[in-house]
Amino acid sequence: MAITTLDGIIAGMQPPVGILKVGGTMEAAGVLHSHFYSAGLPGPAVAPSPGVVGEALTAYLGQLPFSNPISGNSYLARFTMNASVIGGYILADRLWHNSGLVSAVLTEQSVDSVAFPARDRVGSANGAGVMVGIEVSTATGNTGAVTTISMRYLNQDGVEKVATIPSFPATAAIGSFIPFTLAAGDTGVRKVLAITLGTSLVSGVIHLVAYRELTSVDVPVIYAGSSVDALQSGFVRFYDNTVPFIIQVASVTTATVLRGQLIVTQG
């Protein structure tokens, strides 16, 4: 049974999950940075290795802790963040990721991803609100920005489209996270069909990651905490087996120390 009242939100609050991440040097201002591989609490994740078709995720060592409710549903109660640099901090659900992409191949690489879990914006596997990005687990060797990366995918309606990355950075640092721009009118990705780099990344290890943004906070002053609660977030739902992780909207390249709390309410 869903929570429908403020009293229900309060009564269902679970113990807070503490977040402490000590990241490495980031790529550039404006480039997203995944803290999936950052040290801290929880500890860093190991780079994915399921192959190009990838794996649908229900849990992964290194994610922010999350437990399914005994009964009822889960929702965001509060997300708090402070950090050593200003920037935006996105809380996202990691639905799927892959490995085995070749960074120096210019022709199309088939992916044909396994089905994503039913955790899109409305709790289905159709991809509403699901985005896909390239995540770097070993720094790439390209000396210039790459503007030729494209991805064939099925959109939220099951129609094949092509997404692009306007600019993939030179020598992308570990943790760099570059989302694809979807075709006009699309609101999500249901399945990844293939990727074409077009220009060699020379070296390094990259992964495709399908994810859904849950909420975000801005930290406009260093070490001055910001938060969002159940009402401010639109009472976003955490579907069973959510795999939360943090993506930073970098304002500088300086390595970040971030601290925060995640509180979920269930009922």
DSSP state of 115: P
Q: Is the pTM of this model over 0.95?
A: yes
Spatial separation of the C-alpha atoms in residues 137 and 176, rounded to whole Å: 8
Average pLDDT over residues 95-105: 98
Contacts with 40 (C-beta within 8 Å, 6 or more apart), sequence order: 19, 20, 21, 22
Cα–Cα nearest to 93, from 58, 128, 124? 58
Q: Is the dihedral of CA 42, 44, 50, 52 positive or negative?
A: positive
Spatial separation of the C-alpha atoms in residues 88 and 72, rounded to whole Å: 31
Spatial separation of the C-alpha atoms in residues 121 and 72, rounded to whole Å: 18
pLDDT, tens only, 77-97: 999 999 999 999 999 999 999
Contacts with 147 (C-beta within 8 Å, 6 or more apart), sequence order: 165, 166, 167, 168, 199
Percentage of residues of the chain with pLDDT beyond 90: 99
Q: Is the dihedral of CA 156, 162, 165, 170 positive or negative?
A: positive
Give 1's pLDDT tier (boundaries 50, 70, 90). low
Give 67's pLDDT tier (boundaries 50, 70, 90). very high
**What's at 46, amino acid-wise?**
V
Q: What is the pLDDT of residue 254?
A: 94
pLDDT, tens only, 38-55: 999 999 999 999 999 999
Integer angstrom CA distances of residue 174 from 61, 101, 249: 18, 16, 15
Answer whether 98's CB lies under 8 Å from 208's CB. Answer: yes
pLDDT, tens only, 3-13: 999 999 999 99
Cα–Cα nearest to 257, from 89, 87, 84? 84
